[in-house]
């Protein structure tokens, strides 16, 4: 701890200085009376980029995806009351995908706290569940310590830290302020892998289940997979770590996954989960032996029982384990090649299917064929997630980001704009019409900063994933039709160039034109709403639900009809 003799700094300026020193390059938010001292400090500093979003939710999503991409700290802010309340959805995305975000919120002045003042909300209490560190700051002398601690907690715990500042405290001068270290200690992992090596040596059908924690480790995964003969299955956030055309890559696991991925897990006698918090235990049998590698000590055994929990980074684990296991001559991934070939043939057939309007599967495949190798693809929640997860064939060097744990709609546009400002490589936002309508105001942000973001809208005029869920339950589709604007016209109204596709004949030409465009571009595709996102394996219950739903739809069944019938 050092002590500064600089008497010209106020609390807001100290916050900005600390953020800059922690590596924050951008801060997202909307100005307001109680946060204006911080906004002024950002302006005066000139060392941190202020991104004025049009809704605080968009700012929190942008910060979350910024951190998910970089692995570093990102920041957002909101004014007292409603401005800060709006941050919560994006911050929950950060919490559930373990992104390091610091949220700075404004508060009424200290003399007004507790008096039911205008826009007074107990934000410290409201933010308690979403944060790893959360404080109302009431004393200027403690502010430097609390800011430094919030930064460290967010980075060490890979979560959200929140500090709530009364407006008068932000303007208070700091005399000889104490300086605290904001650099978190670097963790060094040296796990005992004796048991893990023994399990791998004894295994005949090992499988690698990888997640976002393995990003950047494709070379080590390549070596490890080949050495032990393990096919690679990925969780949604692990897509793109390994190229989808690699014969050892079986695809995803879960409802959005693939048949070879599911087959690999079912036939395996050992699952090596690395950097993945895959949440769906129904896809993994309770008697399966599992090695679970994670930097979070609480992750193993949280969802499924781990035979060998390993507290380690993916890099340290893979670097250490490769030399401790023998080369297997019988490669389990070879046994799955026929299943993999049949699955890819099925995907190709689906992508060539004739449809009313655009075939969304064909659009996703063509987008993958035309996108640059180094592109980042941000995908919204809904059917679009399925089309990208399954039909966009990831190449080595591409990055894929989703709202994984929270699965919030409306995440892709604000999330992608943050990424597009943080790097020079192309960024593509794949959004559904339902998700785009929720955060469409951020088109203004895209245009204001001339962000070269490419936006592909899958418009089927329905909440189509909900339609699928209704049908699986045996319900007729109801309450899911959307009345949409012409999104290509909306984009033009914002000053963003755009185009529209209504059929399958010119998809490639339109996609190429979009990707070659200099600056932001929105491409709207009017897709067939009756193309269903089928699971990798349809259960008897799902098939029965489909049949029941179709019958009810054709006979005009609704809850109102049922009530009249039962009277």
Contact in structure between 136 and 108 (CB atoms under 8 Å): no
Give the model's confidence band at 548: pLDDT under 50 very low, under 70 low, under 90 confident, else very high.
Answer: low
**% residues pLDDT > 90 (the chain):** 77
Q: Which of 36-40, 462-466, 484-488, 506-510 has the lowest mean pLDDT?
A: 462-466
Residues 429, 558: Cα–Cα separation, whole Å: 36
The CATH code of the domain at 2-179 is 3.40.50.970
Domain with CATH 3.40.50.970 in the chain: 2-179, 357-550
Task: State the pTM of this model.
Answer: 0.92
Residues 507, 510: Cα–Cα separation, whole Å: 5
Domain with CATH 3.40.50.1220 in the chain: 194-338
Query: Both tokens of residue 89?
Result: 């959805």
Question: What are the tens digits of pLDDT across the range 6-43?
Answer: 457 999 999 999 999 999 999 999 999 999 999 999 99
**% residues pLDDT > 70 (the chain):** 92
Give the model's confidence band at 186: pLDDT under 50 very low, under 70 low, under 90 confident, else very high.
Answer: confident
Q: Output the pLDDT for position 551.
A: 55
Give the model's confidence band at 536: pLDDT under 50 very low, under 70 low, under 90 confident, else very high.
Answer: low
Question: What are the tens digits of pLDDT across the range 42-98?
Answer: 999 999 999 999 999 999 999 999 999 999 999 999 999 999 999 999 999 999 999
b/e string for 342-358 if b means 16 or more Cβ within 10 A?
A: ebbeebeebbeeebebb
Classify strands 178-179 and 2-3 as parallel, antiparallel or unpaired: antiparallel
Helix (H) / strand (E) containing 456:
strand 454-459
CATH superfamily of the domain spanning 357-550: Thiamin diphosphate (ThDP)-binding fold, Pyr/PP domains (3.40.50.970)
Give the model's confidence band at 545: pLDDT under 50 very low, under 70 low, under 90 confident, else very high.
Answer: low
Q: Which of 141-145, 167-171, 251-255, 264-268 has the lowest mean pLDDT?
A: 251-255
Q: In which residue are the tokens 């399966």 written?
A: 288
Query: Both tokens of residue 164?
Result: 């709530």
The sign of the torsion formed by the CA atoms of 211, 212, 214, 219 equals positive
Please say whether the structural domain 194-338 has been given the CATH code 3.40.50.1220: yes
Residues 175, 10: Cα–Cα separation, whole Å: 9
Give the model's confidence band at 564: pLDDT under 50 very low, under 70 low, under 90 confident, else very high.
Answer: very low
């Amino acid at each position: 701890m050092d002590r500064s003799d600089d008497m010209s700094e106020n609390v807001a300026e100290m916050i900005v200085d600390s953020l800059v020193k922690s590596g924050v390059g951008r801060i997202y938010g909307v100005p307001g009376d109680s946060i204006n001292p911080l906004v002024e400090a950002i302006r005066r500093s000139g060392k941190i980029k202020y991104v004025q979003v049009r809704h605080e939710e968009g700012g929190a999503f942008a910060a979350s995806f910024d951190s998910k991409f970089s692995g570093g700290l990102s920041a957002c802010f909101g004014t007292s009351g409603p401005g800060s309340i709006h941050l919560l959805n994006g911050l929950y995305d950060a919490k559930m995908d373990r992104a390091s975000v610091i949220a700075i919120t404004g508060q009424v002045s200290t003399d007004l706290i507790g008096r039911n003042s205008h826009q007074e909300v107990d934000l410290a209490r409201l933010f308690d569940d979403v944060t790893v560190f959360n404080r109302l700051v009431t004393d200027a002398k403690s502010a430097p310590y609390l800011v430094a601690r919030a930064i460290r907690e967010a980075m060490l715990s890979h979560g959200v830290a929140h500090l709530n500042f009364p407006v008068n405290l932000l303007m208070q001068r700091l005399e000889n302020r104490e300086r605290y270290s904001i650099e978190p200690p670097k963790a060094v992992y040296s796990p005992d892998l004796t048991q893990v090596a023994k399990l791998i040596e004894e295994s005949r059908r090992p499988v690698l289940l990888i997640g976002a924690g393995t990003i950047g480790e494709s070379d080590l995964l390549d070596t490890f997979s080949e050495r032990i003969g393990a096919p690679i299955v990925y969780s949604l956030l692990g897509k793109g770590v390994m190229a989808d055309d690699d014969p050892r890559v079986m695809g995803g696991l879960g409802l959005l996954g693939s048949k070879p991925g599911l087959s690999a897990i079912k036939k395996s006698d050992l699952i090596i989960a690395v950097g993945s918090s895959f949440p769906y235990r129904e896809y993994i049998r309770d008697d399966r032996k599992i090695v679970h590698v994670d930097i979070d000590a609480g992750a193993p055994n949280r969802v499924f029982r781990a035979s060998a929990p390993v507290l380690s980074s993916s890099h340290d684990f893979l670097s250490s384990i490769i030399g401790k296991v023998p080369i297997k001559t019988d490669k389990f991934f070879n046994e799955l090649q026929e299943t993999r070939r049949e699955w890819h043939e099925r995907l190709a057939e689906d992508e060539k299917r004739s449809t009313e309007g655009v075939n969304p599967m064909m659009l996703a495949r063509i987008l993958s064929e035309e996108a640059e190798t180094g592109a980042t693809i941000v995908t919204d929640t809904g059917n679009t997630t399925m089309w990208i997860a399954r039909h966009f064939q990831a190449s080595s060097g591409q990055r894929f980001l989703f709202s994984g744990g929270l699965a919030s709609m409306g995440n892709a546009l604000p999330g992608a704009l943050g990424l597009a400002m943080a790097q020079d490589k192309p960024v593509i936002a794949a959004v559904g019409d339902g998700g785009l309508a929720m955060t469409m105001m951020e088109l203004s942000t895209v245009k204001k900063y001339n962000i070269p973001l490419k936006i592909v809208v899958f418009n089927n005029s329905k909440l189509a994933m909900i339609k699928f869920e209704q049908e699986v339950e045996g319900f007729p589709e109801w309450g899911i039709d959307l009345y949409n604007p012409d999104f290509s016209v909306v984009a033009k109204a914002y000053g963003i160039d755009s185009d529209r596709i209504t059929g399958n004949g010119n998809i490639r030409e339109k996609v190429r034109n979009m990707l070659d465009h200099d600056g932001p571009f929105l491409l709207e595709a009017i897709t067939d709403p009756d193309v269903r996102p089928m699971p990798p394996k349809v259960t008897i219950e799902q098939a029965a639900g489909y049949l029941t739903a179709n019958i009810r739809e054709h006979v005009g069944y609704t809850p109102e009809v049922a009530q009249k019938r039962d009277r």
